[in-house]
Amino acid sequence: MKISTKILSPIKEEMKEFGIYYKKNFDTNFPLLNIITNYLIRRKGKQMRPMLVFLSAKLNGSVNKGTYNAAGLIELLHNATLIHDDVVDETYQRRGFFSINALWRSKIAVLVGDYFLAMGLIKSLEENQTEILRIISTAVKEMSEGELLQIEKSRNLSITEDIYYEIIRKKTATLIAACTAAGAHSVGAPKENTTKMHDFGLNLGIAFQIRDDLLDYEQTNFAGKPTGNDLKEKKMTLPLIYVLSKQSNWKRREILRTIKRHHKNEKKIAPIVEFVKQQGGIEYARKKMIEYRNKALDILNTYPESDAREGLKELVIFTTTRKG
């Protein structure tokens, strides 16, 4: 699913300039690092996070050098976390490309991720962007906390709905909130507007992650059956958490026991996926996603009409209707 022109048109020139800026400013004297950085640039995805920085900046003022710096720092951070995630999860492909650890092994991947994080810190200090650094550092801290919380709770599959929201807020939404808050701050927006854009990003991020979790029940394998990849990795997401909360103790234990013992067995997992669908787990999760989507849209409606506001609205709709 492609990003629409309505989203891109307000920041078309900025995104074009950002590609040049990123490559120029984060070039190094180390050939291996440059090879890996260029590889990452070539395999770039939708670049939703820099888009959020620029759209938030335009909504609150005029894009300036600080905005490009903020977008660059976010992109460095995002790439660093993706590289580290691929190592932790032993993932060897991302978006149809080989991961860094697949091509250069885990040790180099971890070091490159660390390098990107350090580069982000140095650049923010060089540009005297201490508040942007605080926003981004808080995001890194919370992302780590969310990952650890998920690992802790996944061991015994004890994730409640409240814990689920805490995990996705920290793991996913906090970085999106950092994008929108950093964008607003970069153009000198009042503190209340920066806080408002941070809240917008949190709501958007939670809706984004719920949509991601729903996709696992919608996407199918070669046999036309739901992939159930989250269950295969013993990840408890909202559709399953809701359905489990409605079951008897006996039924809940039976489902959890199957996931614990047979999570890699597609034939054992498929009936659970179907049960979640039959018991209203998909409808419930979709309803919650729409609630958070609407909270994000309500915040945007407090701003005057503009191309940037319409672009952000389109981006909100895109994240909650995407097919992949």
pLDDT tens-place string over residues 33-66: 888 887 777 766 678 899 999 999 999 999 999 9
- How far is residue 26's CA from residue 249's CA, in Å, rounded to a whole number? 54
31: which residues sit within 8 A by CB, 6+ positions away?
none
- Residue 22's closest CA among 37, 43, 33? 37
CA distances to 7, 90, 136, 230, 320 from 61, in Å: 17, 42, 20, 41, 27
Question: Residue 225 above 50 pLDDT?
Answer: no
Structure tokens belonging to residue 14: 């900025």
55 three-class SS: helix
pLDDT tens track for 260-295: 887 778 888 888 999 999 999 999 999 999 999 999
Cα angle: 160, vertex 196, 138; to 5 degrees: 60
As a CATH number, domain 5-321 is 1.10.600.10
DSSP 4: P
What single-letter amino acid sits at 170?
A: K
Most confident of 37-51, 81-95, 145-159, 168-182: 168-182
In three-state secondary structure terms, 322 is coil
pLDDT above 70: residue 204: yes
Is 224 a residue whose pLDDT tops 50?
Answer: no
pTM confidence score:
0.90
Highest mean pLDDT among 25-34, 117-126, 136-145, 216-225: 136-145
- pLDDT bin (cut points 50, 70, 90) of residue 157 is confident
Report helix, strand or coil for 3.
Answer: coil
- By C-alpha distance, which of 21, 15, 191, 29 is closest to 123? 21
220 in helix, strand or coil? Answer: strand
How much is the mean pLDDT over the chain?
87
